Structures are given as structure tokens and as C-alpha cells.
Structure 1
Amino acid sequence: MKQATLEDAARLVRDGQTVTIGGTLSQRIPAAMVRELARAGVKGLHLIKPSPGFDADVLAAAGALASVRAGMTTLEQPFGMAPSFRRAAEAGEVKVIENACPAVMASLQAAAFGLPFQAVAGLDGSEVPEISEFARVKDPFTGDDVWVVPAVRPDWAILHVHEADLRGNARIYGTPVWDRLMSRAAKRVILTAEKIMPTEHFVAQPELTVVSELFVEAVVHAPMGAWPTAVYPDYDIDEAAMRRYLQLSRTPEGFRQYLDDTAAQDHARIEAAA
């Protein structure tokens, strides 16, 4: 069995490691785990994700990020930009490796397939390849030059799912976004789950399993573990909580208060479900 507490799972992530985080923008972010990483004081993380949002902002506010490889970073409407991430990027505290979202996906796909790089179309006419130090290689079949991006194999994929068993099999209802790919690209996976289900539940319909136990190191039962972001169809974005986060995260003192306040909420939900 791979059941872990939020604290124990967060301690698996070490300073300087590369992580990829499931969900997108303000949708199905493993927010309880992201907050726990911030509380744990992990530093120097390298985040790769096509479209981070709340996760990148919290980690930037915590001073946990060394670099971000992404196509876009925003909290989406009606919250606008990710302000803590933007401040850290503009201050040079976080290295921003600008990609297009498909380029990030290609880097993860190359890692998942065990390849050193992958070709990407549609980059001609853009400055992104030069900014991100992509390379051109010759297509052996046509002789044309093509852009390629490097494989990036994260140390950890951190994913929030609707259902998991204690062996690490997991289901996501609605779009999985990039979570399936992340679970294959990373060396190991940490899951937080709305519900813990018996293994028989997954055996009954194995085609619905998005993440296999083969990839998973730890499973945390975390009801409302994506709050204040949304988990379709269970709950929507908590706008009031998101705006409170944005207000508090403007200062280091306010951000610390936010982490302290939400610690009680995060752990109370988990304890109530135990």
C-alpha cells in the first residue's frame, strides 16, 4: 500500500528537483500538495508544465522555484495574471524558459517514449525556438530542417485525481488535460485523491484508469484537495478564497498567514475523511 500523509508525500520532493504538476490554470490543481511543498520550504524546483497557474503562483510566492518551462502562466478569468509568479520572473528570481504549450508537451512525450528529443511543427516565424534554445535537425526522409525540443523527464509528477486506490491506480473524470502524459514522463508520481476506492472498483472497468499503480510512489486521501481551484463536476473555483489568496500573497507576511490558515483547513478535510 502507498498511502501517505500530506506531509510525508511533500517530503519526497527534494530541493533542486524537476516537477510537473497536473491540472491546468485554475482547474484540478493539486493545491493542497502545492501548499504543503511551500510549507516544507523546498527550494530550487524546476517546473515543467504547458499551462501552470495557481500552482506556479503559490510556489513562486514561497520562493520555491528556480525555473519554469511553460507555454503560458495565468490564473485565467476573472483573476488575470499570476502576480507572484510575475513578480518573481521580473525580479530574476525565477528563470522563465518560454515555450509554446505543444513544445512542452513534446518534451514530456519524448521523455515518456524514452527519446532524447521530439520534433515540433509550427515554430517557424517565432522567436520561441531561439529564446528556448531549441535545435534544428535534418529530416532523414525529406531533407528538410525541423525544430526539435529536448526530452525533459521530471523527478515527480504531482497529480490530483477524482478516485484512487491505495495501490496507486487512479481515475480522472472529464478531461485529464496532460495528467496521463505527465504520469508516463516522470520518474515517479504523487497522487492526491478526492476519494479512495477499493481496487475492485478499478478492476471492474480498467479502461477508465488514467494513471497506473506502476508509476505511483504515494497516494494521499485529500478531499477538496484542489481547493480553491475547481474539480469538475464536483466543485467550482472558490472565487472568494482565490481573491483572499491574491490579497494575502502580495507580501511575505501575508503569504505566510495564508499558508498557516489553510494548513488547518487542508488537514481538517483529510482527518474528517480518515
Structure 2
Amino acid sequence: MSTPPPQERAAQSKVVPLEELAGRVRDGDSLALGGSFLHRGPFALVRELIRAGRTGLEIVKQSPGYDIDLLCRAGAVKRARTGIVALEGNFGLAPWYRGAIESGEVELEEHACATLTAGLRAAAFGVPFQPVGGVHGSDLAELNGWVRMDDPYGAGDPVYVIPAIRPDVAVIHANEVTAEGDARVYGTTHWDRIMTRAARKVLVVAERLVDGARFEERPELTLVPGFLVDAVSVVPRGAWPGSCWPEYGVDYDAVSAYLDVSGTTLDAHLSCGPEALR
């Protein structure tokens, strides 16, 4: 297959400003967010959604923290499908998320990380449900109406089956992208791979833009191929105040400041985001 001329490759670029990327998430969308806790989350996009005034979102993530807490603080969330939610050992629980759940402002479909992953896998594999182990003895099955199914082959114990979970949009933060939308992540990929296969639309925020030839040299490192990606934005340090290995670590002082309600308003915190300082 021949390589298209430079002008044709330029016309295929999926790189857009962050504001436009946020515009591809609509009010009421089901939104899967990549990363885990304070690590490599698409936090620049989360802040941009708040600036854009998004409302009624459903957040899907196995281990959210700062991202869902910030969106709850802004009143942007209507529903959550989550596993463990926390700001990690340094800071404990996510206070605005907890308050939104306890007040009933946000409806919660509580999961274990494995059950949420099973639902996403079902969507990615194009099947109506996915079996999962380890649910026996938990109230989650009854609370969520999950069906217990006998092993049709008679070789094992019954299992619960989780219905498919297909988010409208999945957003991940990557180390590198090409103009065509290929995305590469260094270090652990968390649940980003399965999210991007399950969602109807995939958006990527990345630390930097690189030439496609770099990806061709090591194709096995490509986490998300460009044909799955709707659009990308390049935002250096876009995972702040979280980490993006090996680029930078967690800004613990910034997280502490975010949690200090006596000293930092939501608007003041948003103004500190790297995307706001460009």
C-alpha cells in the first residue's frame, strides 16, 4: 500500500483544540474516563468540560477520584457507574463525590472494578453480557439486578453475568499521538484499552504529537489505533495535578490546595490547569 502524499496526510489530521474536543461530549452523555485515581487521567479535558458548562453526565470508571470529584463539585454529573472512588492514601475519600451520592444529587450504580470491566468487555466483544467471578456474598448483585447463571457445560459453579456497558464517549490521556489519532501509552494502561473498544466514540488528550514513522518503528506499543479515534488534542502536562509516567509525578501540593475549601474556589483551581495557562 503506497504512502499518501504530504498534503493528503495533512488533510487526515485529527488534531483539534481542546475546546473543540470538549465540544464532542454532549450534555447527558455516558463518559468513560481513562487512567486510575491520580494517574494519567484526562484531567485537562475534564476541566474543559466544566468550563463548557456540561451537565447531566454519566461517569463510567473503575477507579476514579479527582476527575469525578471535580465534575461533581461543578454539578456536571447525574449518574455514576464506578468501583472504588478515592483520592488515594494521601487524601482519602473524594469529598464532593461523596456528598453528591449521599444527598441523592448523583445516582450511583456501584460496581467492583471487575464487574465494571466485565460490562465494558461485553460491549467491546459485541455480546449482551459477560460472566464474572468473585461476586458471591456481595450485595452488589441484588442491588444491581445482576443475573446468576448456571454453568451451561456443568463443569463449574454458577456465575453472575454483567450486562454490556457501552459509553457514548471514552476519553484517555496518552503520552504520544500521531496526527492520524494513533495513541501510545508508556507504563501501565489501566483500563484504557477496554474502554476505547467499548465506547461509541473515542477522544484522546496527549502530552505531545509525534510523526507516524515513530509509531511504525514500534507498532506493538500503539494502545489505540487511529481508526478508532474521533479526535485528539495535545496538552502538555494535561494529566495535572495527577501523574503521567515517565513525564511527571503527582502534584500533591496542588491536590491539597484543591481540597482546601477555605482557600481555593473551583474557578481558582480551574485557572491553574496547564491548558488554561497556554
TM-score w.r.t. the length of structure 2 is 0.92
Aligned partner of residue 81 in structure 2, secondary structure:
strand
- Number of aligned residue pairs: give it: 265
Tell me which of 212, 222, 231 is aligned to 1:209. Answer: 222
Tell me how far apart the structure 1 counterparts of residues 258 and 19 of structure 2 sit (CA, whole Å).
Answer: 21
- Contact 1:187 1:215 (C-alpha < 8 Å) held by counterparts: no
Aligned position for 2:268: 257
RMSD over aligned Cα atoms: 1.6
Q: CA deviation at 1:268?
A: 3.2
CA offsets 1:235-269 (integer angstroms, 9 cap, x no match):
11101111111124x79x9213322x235x41434
Aligned position for 2:68: 56
Tell me how far apart the structure 2 counterparts of residues 60 and 133 of structure 1 sit (CA, whole Å).
Answer: 26
Tell me how far apart the structure 2 counterparts of residues 26 and 98 of structure 1 sit (CA, whole Å).
Answer: 20
Tell me which of 94, 98, 111 is aligned to 1:99. Answer: 111
**Residue 133 in structure 1 maps to residue 142 in structure 2:** no
CA offsets 1:88-137 (integer angstroms, 9 cap, x no match):
11110111111110000000100100111001111111111111221123
Q: CA deviation at 1:77?
A: 1.9
The answer for unaligned runs of 5 or more in structure 1 is 270-274
Aligned partner of residue 77 in structure 1, secondary structure:
helix
Tell me how far apart the structure 1 counterparts of residues 276 and 234 of structure 2 sit (CA, whole Å).
Answer: 10
Aligned position for 1:186: 199
**Which runs of structure 2 are paired with 1:120-159 in the superposition (5 Å)?**
120-142=132-154, 145-159=158-172
- Contact 1:162 1:173 (C-alpha < 8 Å) held by counterparts: yes
Tell me how far apart the structure 1 counterparts of residues 40 and 159 of structure 2 sit (CA, whole Å).
Answer: 35
Structure 1 vs Structure 2: percent identity of aligned residues?
A: 44
**Which runs of structure 2 are paired with 1:31-42 in the superposition (5 Å)?**
31-42=43-54
Aligned partner of residue 202 in structure 2, secondary structure:
strand
Aligned position for 1:266: 275
Aligned position for 1:177: 190
Aligned partner of residue 111 in structure 1, secondary structure:
helix
Greater Rg over alpha carbons, structure: 2
Q: CA deviation at 1:195?
A: 1.0
Tell me how far apart the structure 1 counterparts of residues 16 and 259 of structure 2 sit (CA, whole Å).
Answer: 30
Tell me how far apart the structure 2 counterparts of residues 193 and 125 of structure 1 sit (CA, whole Å).
Answer: 41
TM-score w.r.t. the length of structure 1 is 0.93
